[in-house]
Amino acid sequence: MSESAPWSDLELARFVRAVGHGVVATVRADGSPEAAVVGLATSDDLTLSFDTLGSSRKAANLRRDGRVAVTVWLGDVTLQLEGLADEPTGDDLAALQATYFEAFPEGRERQTWPGITWFRVRARWLRLSDFGTEPPTVIERRRD
C-alpha cells in the first residue's frame, strides 16, 4: 500500500500498472459476449486504454456498443470494472497515447500498422476483491 488512500482510484491505477494486462469483454451484435486479453494502460484517475486493430472483433463490438467489462487480477486480488469505451481523437487521443506509450513503449511501433486504433475505458462501476486479507476485502462503488 502506498501513501494514497487504500484502494483509491490512484491505488487501483497503480495495481493495473503493476499487472499490465487484463481481459476486456464486449457485446457482439447478437448479444453474446466476446472476451480478449489486452495490454492495459491507465491514467491516475483510472481511465484505461488499450490498442487493437480496427478490424478486430472487440473494435467492431465497441464501435457498435460501447459497453465493456474489464478484469485485472494478480494473486488474491481481482479488480472488475464495467463502463463505456470510445475511440478518442485529436488532443484526447494524443493524451491517451502518451499514457499508453509510457506503459508500453513498443506500442509506438504499432502506430504504423494499418488500422491500429486505441480505445479509452471509463469505469462506471468497479469491484475490488482482495482474498489475501482476513477477512477478505471487498470494495464496490459506482462512478457515475
Q: Residue 7's pLDDT band (boundaries 50, 70, 90)?
A: confident
How much is the pTM? 0.91
Check residue 91 and give left, alpha or beta (phi > 0: left; psi -120 to 50: alpha): alpha
d(CA 5, CA 83): 23
Distances (CA, A) of 44 to 27, 49, 63: 27, 12, 25
Residue 52's beta-bridge partner residues? 117
Q: Residue 4's pLDDT band (boundaries 50, 70, 90)?
A: very low
The string of DSSP codes covering 70-94 is: EEEEETTEEEEEEEEEE---HHHHH
User: Does position 3 have pLDDT exceeding 50, yes or no?
Assistant: no
Task: Give the residue numbers spanning the domain of 130.
Answer: 9-142
pLDDT in the model for residue 143:
84
Count structural domains, the chain. Answer: 1
Domain presence at residue 75: yes
Q: Could you tell me the end-to-end alpha-carbon distance of the chain, in angstroms, rounded to an integer?
A: 26
Q: What is the rounded average pLDDT of the residues 119-127?
A: 96
Check residue 97 and report its DSSP letter: H
* 136 CB neighbour count, 10 Å cutoff: 10
Domain presence at residue 2: no
User: Does position 106 have pLDDT exceeding 80, yes or no?
Assistant: yes
CATH number of the domain where residue 136 is located: 2.30.110.10
Domain presence at residue 62: yes
d(CA 93, CA 70): 20
Domain presence at residue 131: yes
User: Does position 77 have pLDDT exceeding 90, yes or no?
Assistant: yes
d(CA 40, CA 78): 15
Domain presence at residue 3: no
User: Does position 25 have pLDDT exceeding 60, yes or no?
Assistant: yes
Distances (CA, A) of 125 to 37, 111, 144: 20, 31, 8
pLDDT in the model for residue 2:
41
Domain presence at residue 44: yes
Q: Which of 48-52, 130-134, 140-144 has the lowest mean pLDDT?
A: 140-144
Q: What is the rounded average pLDDT of the residues 48-70?
A: 97
Q: What is the rounded average pLDDT of the residues 73-88?
A: 97
